[in-house]
Amino acid sequence: MGKDIKKGLMGVTVDETSISKVMPEINSLTYRGYAAQDLCAKCKFEEVAYLILNGNLPNKRQLKAFEKEERKDRRLSKSLIKVLKEIPKKAHPMDVARTAVSVMGLEDKETSNNTPSSNMRKTMRIFAKTPVALAAFYRLRKGKKIIEPKKNLSFAENFFHMCFGKVPNEDIVKAFDVSLILYAEHSFNVSTFTARTITSSLSDIHGAITGAIASLKGPLHGGANEEVMHMMNEIKKPENARKWINNALNKKKVVMGFGHRVYKSGDSRVPTMREYFGKVAKITNDKKFEKIYDIVEEVMIERKNIHPNVDYPTGPTYHLMGFDTDFFTPIFVISRIIGWSAHVIEQYSTNKLIRPLAAYNGNKYRKVLGIHKR
């Protein structure tokens, strides 16, 4: 491999962004200059969504208008509901999310209009409808009736209502809201770069987000929170944890939920999500996964000096909330739609086609022989 080739674009800066940054001076992920953990402490998810899309935190009037627009856009078309009913019940919910957004693109009257104002309107519709579509599938695959969205519920409350038919206590809702804030945006990650690459050809926002969802599905990106839960279920109980993780490391297995290409001193989102994981474990009176979490983390740091990323506490938190494991990454989607959309809009504003080069290492020139001479 040539020394100038950067596999995985490691260390390559391809563009500028004003949306988010991991600021090394405070070792923190920031959205528009605000530390994500500070936003978790003082804001609800809708305020952070507004911030990421518009550049500043909203005042009361702006937040009310933003919430009103999101809530009025929640209802699904009859045709999309029909599509959801025809999807195989064993389909992965990430594929359902991808399909739902694609169908929305077929239905949206502004799909081919890529002006900033049109893209913002389309963002709000995708943002509002995607969780409704996912919750509908959550019900359908269990043989249950779809629950309609409610306009008097917050984004987080409404998702619980549509999945389970009830809203849990405010501490559970707050923990869910915090997870949405922490997942909302993370600069030029794989799925965001996918969205920006699609946008760079002047394709539409529905196509860009559909591609981003496909990228997020992979276990090396968004699917890691699901893999963490599979690992914890395999460990089964705290007494098995130390032996399991040591054995995995001895066999050089990849342990999901640990390490991050961007953070040098540990993922800054983890302490906040770990705190809320603990709160949910206490409320649900289930400390088993918390104990497994601590043992595996201790061994990983001790033996490999590798710290957890945000997927590690998020997976078991969603499990304790009652969500099926294969719905963890779709929850990531309903949050990250905000980050993707902000990047799509930013890409359009200063667009240049993303078209890297490749170093060829195939055959030298060969003459084509007729089929009878081969």
SS3 308: strand
343 is catalytic: no
Q: How far is the C-alpha of 231 from the C-alpha of 245, rounded, in Å? A: 10
Q: How far is the C-alpha of 267 from the C-alpha of 269, rounded, in Å? A: 5
Long-range contacts of 39-47 (CB under 8 A, 24+ apart): 39/181, 40/178, 40/181, 40/182, 40/272, 43/181, 44/154, 44/156, 44/177, 45/154, 45/155, 45/156, 45/177, 45/180, 45/181, 45/184, 45/335, 46/70, 46/154, 46/155
Find the catalytic residue in 161, 186, 206, 260: 260
Among 154, 211, 179, 171, CA closest to 335: 179
- Whether residue 139 contacts residue 146, with contact meaning beta carbons closer than 8 Å, is answered with yes
311 is catalytic: yes
Taking the CA atoms of residue 311, residue 273, residue 332 and residue 212 in that order, the dihedral angle to the nearest 10 degrees is -60
Residue 275 tokens read as: 């705190």
User: Which stretch of DSSP H or E encloses residue 291?
Assistant: helix 288-304
221 is catalytic: yes
User: Which residues does 360 contact at the CB level (< 8 Å), separation at least 6?
Assistant: none
Find the catalytic residue in 307, 311, 319, 343: 311
Buried-exposed string 236-258: b where 16+ CB fall within 10 A, e elsewhere: eebeebeebbeebeeeeeebbbb
Which residues are catalytically annotated? 221, 260, 311
